[in-house]
């Protein structure tokens, strides 16, 4: 038995929750993964997993073995990295998941700069606003905006996104320009709604002016759960929108959007990079995260101040 391969297969089964998902992520037949686990249990003379038709769970011995196996595999990867100068030239595959707008508007356009520095890193980039399971989907890290609710994950705050309130010239011609945020909750004004994919609840919008703060659930005829759809709805004159500065900047410059309620600030949204617990932070992942931190700092906090006010 190849103990290292069996150990890697066992860790993936525990993290994925099923033999099928583990086999897919390892690019191995399910029968091979099953045989590896059975052989490992025979070698250790203990039962590591409880199996059902839908999911597997770890036994007490299996949980202890998983913790030790994770440390050993992490140490092995770090050792190999130091031997082949992976710290100087990181290589290998990483799986990242980011919100749709961040992937399309920020990360993908700048990836040529990343690959100029790290040509041997292969990125599998999930681009969507859906909530993913980092462990079962075998994702190395995600970039997420908003306060985090899952305390079991490891998170690092890397910046924040600033928002401004905008409408199209056609909308303002049709409905007028609001003078106060409370007008957005009643006719004739309307906002494009944004609802949580998890709860289905339409989110409120917060406005601040000095010590005054107003929270509004906008009057809306349309609510969406995707940032690009949200912006497109605003551009279709379906309502006022609160848009990130890096998205709004070019549209303000072209005149497709006009800023409204300029003396009211929208609540900024914190941005985090999130890792699964017990996941080793490899050199290839570390350089990607450092690059994203610098990119978001430059795009979301630096240059946008000028673009948001242009």
Phi then psi dihedrals of residue 46, to 5 deg: -155, 155
% the chain with pLDDT above 90: 25
For residues 6 and 32, give the distance between their C-alpha atoms in angstroms, rounded to a whole number.
10
% the chain with pLDDT above 70: 89
Q: Quick one: pLDDT at residue 80?
A: 65
Written as six digits, the tokens of 4 are 């290292």
Q: What is the mean pLDDT of the chain?
A: 83
pLDDT over 90 (residue 300)? no
Q: In which band, very low, low, confident or very high, does the pLDDT at 85 lie, cut at 50, 70 and 90?
A: low
pLDDT over 60 (residue 86)? no
Q: In which band, very low, low, confident or very high, does the pLDDT at 241 lie, cut at 50, 70 and 90?
A: very high
What Cα–Cα distance (Å) separates residue 98 from each residue in 127, 286, 296? 5, 16, 12
0.75 cut: is pTM over it? no
Report which of 214, 223, 167 is spatially closest to residue 196, judged by C-alpha positions.
223
Q: Which parts of 148-272 fold into alpha helices (H)?
A: 169-175, 227-235, 245-254
Q: What is the pLDDT of residues 9-63, one digit of tens each?
A: 888 888 888 888 888 888 888 888 888 888 888 888 888 888 876 778 888 888 8
Better-predicted residue by pLDDT, 66 or 279: 66
7-16, 71-80, 232-241, 288-297: range with lowest mean pLDDT: 71-80
4-18, 109-123, 226-240: range with lowest mean pLDDT: 4-18
The set of residues, in sequence order, having a beta carbon less than 8 Å from that of 151 and lying 6+ positions away, is: none
Q: Three-class SS string for 213-224? A: EEEECCCCCCEE
3-state secondary structure of 286: helix
Q: In which band, very low, low, confident or very high, does the pLDDT at 278 lie, cut at 50, 70 and 90?
A: low
pLDDT over 70 (residue 307)? no
pLDDT over 50 (residue 168)? yes
The set of residues, in sequence order, having a beta carbon less than 8 Å from that of 5 and lying 6+ positions away, is: 36
Mean pLDDT score, 187-199? 85
């Amino acid at each position: 038995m190849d103990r290292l391969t069996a150990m890697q297969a066992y860790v993936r089964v525990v993290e994925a929750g099923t033999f099928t998902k583990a086999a897919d992520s390892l690019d191995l037949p399910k029968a091979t993964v099953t045989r590896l686990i059975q052989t490992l249990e025979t070698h250790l003379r203990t039962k590591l997993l409880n199996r059902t038709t839908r999911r597997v769970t770890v036994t007490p011995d299996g949980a202890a073995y998983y913790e030790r196996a994770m440390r050993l595999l992490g140490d092995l990867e770090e050792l190999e990295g130091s031997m082949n100068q992976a710290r100087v030239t990181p290589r290998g595959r990483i799986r990242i998941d980011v919100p749709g707008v961040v992937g399309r508007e920020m990360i993908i356009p700048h990836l040529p700069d990343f690959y100029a520095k790290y040509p041997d890193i292969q990125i599998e980039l999930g681009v969507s606003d859906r909530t993913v399971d980092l462990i079962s989907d075998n994702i190395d890290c995600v970039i997420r905006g908003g306060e985090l609710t899952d305390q079991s994950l490891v998170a690092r705050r890397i910046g924040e996104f600033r928002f401004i309130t905008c409408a199209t010239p056609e909308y303002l011609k049709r409905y007028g320009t609001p003078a106060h945020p409370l007008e957005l909750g009643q006719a004739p004004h309307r906002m494009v709604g944004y609802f949580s994919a998890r709860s289905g609840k339409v989110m409120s919008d917060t406005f601040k002016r000095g010590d005054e703060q107003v929270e509004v659930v906008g009057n809306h005829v349309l609510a969406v759960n995707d940032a690009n759809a949200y912006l497109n709805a605003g551009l279709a004159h379906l309502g006022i929108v609160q848009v990130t500065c890096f998205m709004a900047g070019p549209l303000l410059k072209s005149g497709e959007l006009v800023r409204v309620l300029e003396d009211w600030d929208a609540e900024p949204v914190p941005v985090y990079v999130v890792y699964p617990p017990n996941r080793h932070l490899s050199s290839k992942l570390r350089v990607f995260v450092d690059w994203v931190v610098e990119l978001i700092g430059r795009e979301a906090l630096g240059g946008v101040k000028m673009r948001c006010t242009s």
